């Protein structure tokens, strides 16, 4: 495989919302910013199909007390989302949101509805509405264009899979071209990871299908896996996350639907709304995402999102926003099947979204390794989080890069040789399992041994078999071309993440949220304000409990 | 879900091939009809449809396991 070298001051791994915002800021401040993107930045990542809610605080709308806004926000799904990140970081985030809103508007992303800032959805009736409705359908093409205008170099179809680091400091990364037989070596003074979430560690609603997911097949936790291998700290890898959406049709956008969640007898399942409310939606699943599963298991389902009784105007409003929220194919399907939402409630279910683990960072976006930053879904979900910390990290990575240099390199050469060897070995393997087979095996181990129920015995057993799977996969996985090679590396990364989920689950000897230890049913109050850290020391995982950042 | 290309409408511009994040059209050749190489990797994000200049040249077929489960309206 041929080797291509690219130099940068700031390398952004992942051209999602976070990576592009970081690159735009870095370039604006004079850095040579390069974005390495696995797909094509124009429509890649979770934001690639559009979004319609922007978490933002505007004093003129919400009042001068930002903490009151934060308190309200933390009663919604943002509570789990920002868990363990510390109040300082939340304040830095929220305080910056209006600036980004105005900036995006000036770049051509419509942030107003009928001429005004408009907040709706994800809200309790009577409380603050914390999420602005915006027309995010074209956000990725607009951000990509802005990045190019500012002089950012975007390298599409390159999957970065390891960092170049001495365990203390990062000075580059290595990737594979997913179309041409090429390895790409980035020599960079600082690196910002923005590779998004983890989409297929656990099974999708359709067994054995990978693409029935609310996000993207190509979001596989690469950032977390490579950060860990480079010695960076990760936190709370054992915590599970779930999402809710239409049954069997995995999609985000629950809060864009207007209606009431009702049981088969038409009784509302939550206490918040009794008729469709355009400004609030039904926030019940944000209080408990598992509620659809609980109803199903108790024989009380199905549960429907029920829009009956809403006005045609409210329906038009909902149908206006769903395409911005990446739901055009769903609307097309409803039309084709004659599903009239004014008459037909639509069943919802709980989806397993995998590990809520994240890369440890501070308010500056720095990880525990010099020169390495992390943004967006590497830390917490949401467009607002990705854009704000993209911006902040871009700034700080640029400052760092000014004083940094790239050592010439024997280490880089050794790493290139090692990784080239691995890639060529996989390309040369014959008659083994393809990535899909390995991925199915991974999902069943994750789901049955580190899924909804966990015990010491299950976790020990699962970890033992996961290690066997890893060994077998390394020795035999096949890839007929560069695309399949990328998919194979993705699944190897997810196996690494899976191992960390097992190790951390074993160490968390309590039940908390969706981490249910049948052998430790108590929630241990001594762990209330602690984060669970894992990092690699001398090629071994080491865990530690640490107070949550202030 | 697998994208379906209408040979008669497609202008062979290659936009869908360039844009698809999942590279469902991997291996397609420039100025030729896009090849749907990995239909089961399509995440029905709609980007190919949106970026296609020839209306109707590419559409998505929703696979049967993903059809919505809705509550039928009571018959009169
Ligand atoms: C349908 C949908 C609707 C949503 N709606 C909302 C909403 O209304 N409001 C809201 O706040 N949030 C919403 N979200 C969530 C939001 O989109 C994400 O939180 C946000 O996009 C995260 O930005 P990011 O940059 O961290 O990750 P992403 O935008 O997911 O980008 C990650 C990027 O990294 C690339 N990548 C991955 N691995 C590699 C690698 N190894 N090498 C190179 N590149 C790599 C990916 O291709 C991708 O481009 C929605 C998500 C979905 C799926
Ligand atoms: S819908 Fe999205 S994933 Fe599917 S082929 Fe089109 S661009 Fe690719
Ligand atoms: S974008 Fe449309 S016209 Fe262009 S190659 Fe694809 S299907 Fe054909």
The domain that holds A509 is classified in CATH as: 1.20.58.100
Task: Return the pLDDT at A412.
Answer: 81
Write the DSSP symbol of residue A453.
S
Question: Can you tell me the distance from the alpha carbon of A311 to that of A259, in angstroms, rounded to the nearest whole number?
Answer: 11
- Residue B76's pLDDT band (cuts 50, 70, 90): low
pLDDT over 80 (residue A189): yes
E strands, A453-495, in order:
none
pTM for this model (two decimals): 0.97
Interface contact flag, A329 B60, Cβ < 8 Å: yes
Domain ranges in chain B? 1-62
pLDDT over 80 (residue B75): no
Which residues on neighbouring strands pair with residue A244, listed in sequence order? A350
Question: Can you tell me the distance from the alpha carbon of A442 to that of A287, in angstroms, rounded to the nearest whole number?
Answer: 30
pLDDT (tens digit per residue) in A124-138: 998 889 999 999 999
Mean per-residue pLDDT of chain A: 95
For A399-406, the CB contacts below 8 A with 24+ separation are: A400/A189, A400/A190, A400/A370, A400/A371, A401/A9, A401/A10, A401/A26, A401/A31, A401/A188, A401/A189, A401/A190, A401/A371, A404/A171, A404/A189, A404/A190, A404/A371, A405/A189, A406/A7, A406/A171, A406/A172, A406/A187, A406/A188, A406/A189
- Residue A413's pLDDT band (cuts 50, 70, 90): confident
Domain end marker among A86, A116, A135: A135
List, as one string, the DSSP characters of B14-48. Answer: -HHHHH-TT-TTTTPPTTSPPP---GGG-----HH
Q: Report how far ligand 3's centroid is from the alpha carbon of B7 (Å).
A: 9
Interface contact flag, B66 A212, Cβ < 8 Å: yes
Write the DSSP symbol of residue A137.
G
Q: How far is CA A501 from CA A123, A201, A522, in A?
A: 32, 10, 20
A15-19, A238-242, A370-374, A504-508, range with the lowest pLDDT: A238-242
Question: Can you tell me the distance from the alpha carbon of A354 to that of A99, in angstroms, rounded to the nearest whole number?
Answer: 32
Mean local confidence (pLDDT), A339-365: 93
Task: Return the pLDDT at A80.
Answer: 87
Closest-CA residue, ligand 1 atom 19, reads A382
Task: Return the pLDDT at A352.
Answer: 81
Cβ-based contacts under 8 A for chains A and B: 117
Question: Can you tell me the distance from the alpha carbon of A100 to that of A323, in angstroms, rounded to the nearest whole number?
Answer: 23
Question: Can you tell me the distance from the alpha carbon of A88 to that of A97, in angstroms, rounded to the nearest whole number?
Answer: 15
Q: How many CB atoms lie within 10 A of CB A425?
A: 12
- Ligand 1 pocket, A160 CB below 6 A? yes
- Ligand 3 pocket, B13 CB below 6 A? yes
H/E element, A351: strand A346-355
What's the count of helices (H) and strands (E) in chain A, helices before strands? 16, 17
Write the DSSP symbol of residue B53.
S
pLDDT over 70 (residue A504): yes
Total domains in chain A come to 3
- The two tokens of residue A182 are 């090429």
Mean local confidence (pLDDT), B20-31: 97
User: Measured between beta carbons, which residues in chain B are less than 8 angstroms from residue A42?
Assistant: 19, 47, 51
Mutate to test the interface with A, among B42, B46, B65 (most CBs of A within 10 A): B46
pLDDT (tens digit per residue) in A128-182: 899 999 999 999 999 999 999 999 999 999 999 999 998 889 999 999 999 999 9
pLDDT (tens digit per residue) in A14-63: 999 999 999 999 999 999 999 999 999 999 999 999 999 999 999 999 99
Mutate to test the interface with B, among A16, A41, A43 (most CBs of B within 10 A): A43
Mean local confidence (pLDDT), A192-219: 94
Interface contact flag, A334 B68, Cβ < 8 Å: yes
Mean local confidence (pLDDT), B70-74: 92
Task: Return the pLDDT at A360.
Answer: 96
Residue A549 neighbours by CB under 8 Å, 6+ apart: A85, A86, A88, A89, A362, A531
- Ligand 3 pocket, B1 CB below 6 A? no
Cβ atoms of residues A363 and A380 within 8 Å: no
Q: Which residue has the tokens 């203390």?
A: A168
Task: Return the pLDDT at B1.
Answer: 59
pLDDT over 70 (residue A354): yes
Task: Return the pLDDT at A415.
Answer: 86
For residue A484, the enclosing domain spans 427-522
Contact of A390 with chain B, judged by CB distance below 8 Å, is answered with no
Question: Does residue A215 sit within a domain?
Answer: no
Q: Which of A286, A243, A230, A237 is nearest to A84 (CA)?
A: A237
Task: Return the pLDDT at A411.
Answer: 74
Q: What is the dihedral angle through the alpha carbons of B44, B48, B51, B54, rounded to the nearest 10 degrees?
A: -120
Q: Tell which CATH architecture fits domain B1-62.
A: 2-Layer Sandwich (3.30)
Mean local confidence (pLDDT), A500-510: 98
Domain end marker among A135, A158, A176: A135
pLDDT (tens digit per residue) in A75-122: 988 888 998 889 999 999 999 999 999 999 999 999 999 999 999 999
- The two tokens of residue A407 are 């050592």
Question: Does residue A143 sit within a domain?
Answer: no
- Ligand 3 pocket, B15 CB below 6 A? yes
Closest ligand 2 atom to A329 CA: 1
Q: Which of A366, A400, A399 is nearest to A193 (CA)?
A: A366
Residues in chain B: 76
Question: Can you tell me the distance from the alpha carbon of A315 to that of A308, in angstroms, rounded to the nearest whole number?
Answer: 10
Question: Does residue A297 sit within a domain?
Answer: yes
Mean local confidence (pLDDT), B41-51: 96
- Ligand 2 pocket, B57 CB below 6 A? no
H/E element, A162: strand A158-165
Interface contact flag, B71 A178, Cβ < 8 Å: no
Mean local confidence (pLDDT), A221-237: 97
Interface contact flag, B60 A206, Cβ < 8 Å: no
């Amino acid at each position: 495989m041929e080797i291509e070298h690219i130099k940068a001051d700031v390398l952004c791994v992942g051209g999602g919302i976070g990576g592009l915002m970081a690159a735009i800021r870095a370039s604006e401040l004079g850095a040579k910013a390069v974005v390495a993107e696995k797909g094509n930045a124009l429509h890649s990542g979770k934001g690639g199909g559009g979004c319609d809610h922007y978490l933002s605080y505007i004093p003129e709308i919400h009042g001068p007390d930002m903490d009151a806004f934060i308190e309200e926000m933390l009663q919604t799904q943002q509570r789990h989302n920002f868990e363990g990140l510390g109040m300082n970081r939340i304040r830095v985030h929220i305080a910056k949101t209006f600036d980004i809103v105005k900036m995006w508007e000036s770049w051509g992303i419509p942030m107003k509805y009928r001429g005004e800032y408009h907040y709706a959805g994800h809200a309790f009736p009577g409380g603050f509405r914390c999420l602005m409705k915006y027309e995010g359908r074209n956000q990725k093409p607009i951000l990509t264009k802005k990045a190019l205008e500012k002089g950012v170099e975007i390298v599409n179809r390159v999957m970065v899979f390891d960092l170049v680091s001495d365990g203390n400091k990062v000075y580059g990364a290595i990737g594979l071209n997913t179309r041409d037989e090429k390895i790409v070596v980035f020599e960079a003074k600082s690196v910002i990871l923005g590779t998004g979430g983890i989409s297929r560690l656990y099974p999708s609603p359709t067994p054995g299908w990978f693409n029935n997911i609310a996000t993207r097949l190509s979001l596989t936790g690469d950032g977390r896996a490579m950060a860990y291998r480079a010695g960076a700290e990760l936190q709370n890898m054992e915590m599970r996350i779930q999402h809710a959406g239409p049954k069997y049709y995995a999609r985000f956008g629950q809060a864009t639907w207007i209606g009431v969640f009702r049981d088969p007898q038409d009784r509302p399942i939550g206490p918040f709304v009794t008729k469709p409310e355009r400004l609030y939606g039904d926030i019940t699943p944000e209080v408990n995402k598992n509620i659809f599963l609980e109803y199903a298991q108790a024989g009380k389902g199905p549960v429907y999102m029920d829009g009956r009784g809403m006005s045609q105007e409210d329906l038009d409003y909902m149908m206006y926003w769903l395409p911005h929220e990446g739901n055009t194919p769903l609307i097309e399907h409803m039309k084709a099947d004659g599903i009239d939402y004014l008459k037909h409630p639509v069943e919802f279910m709980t989806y397993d979204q995998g590990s809520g683990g994240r890369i440890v960072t501070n308010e500056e976006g720095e990880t525990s390794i010099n020169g390495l930053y992390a943004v967006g879904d590497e830390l917490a979900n949401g467009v607002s989080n990705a854009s704000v910390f993209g911006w902040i990290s871009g700034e700080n990575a640029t400052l760092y890069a000014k004083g940094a240099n790239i050592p010439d390199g024997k280490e880089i050469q050794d790493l290139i040789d090692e990784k080239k060897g691995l890639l060529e070995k996989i390309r040369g393997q014959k008659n083994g399992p393809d990535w899909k087979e390995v991925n199915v095996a991974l999902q069943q181990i994750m789901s049955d041994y580190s899924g909804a129920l966990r015990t010491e015995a299950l976790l020990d057993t699962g970890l033992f078999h996961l290690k066997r799977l890893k060994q077998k996969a390394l020795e035999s996985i096949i890839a007929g071309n560069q695309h399949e090679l990328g998919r194979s590396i993705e699944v190897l990364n997810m196996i690494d993440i899976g191992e960390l989920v097992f190790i951390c689950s074993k160490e968390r000897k309590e039940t908390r949220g969706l981490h249910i230890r049948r052998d430790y049913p108590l929630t241990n109050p001594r762990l209330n304000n602690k984060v669970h850290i894992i990092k690699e020391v001398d090629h071994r995982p080491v865990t530690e409990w640490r107070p949550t950042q202030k | 879900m697998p994208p379906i290309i209408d040979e008669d409408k497609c202008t062979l511009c290659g936009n869908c091939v360039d844009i698809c994040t999942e590279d469902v059209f991997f291996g397609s050749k420039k100025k030729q009809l896009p090849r749907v190489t990995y239909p089961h990797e399509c995440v029905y994000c709609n980007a190919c449809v949106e970026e296609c200049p020839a209306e109707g040249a590419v559409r998505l077929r929703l696979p049967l396991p993903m059809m919505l489960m809705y509550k039928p309206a009571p018959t009169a």
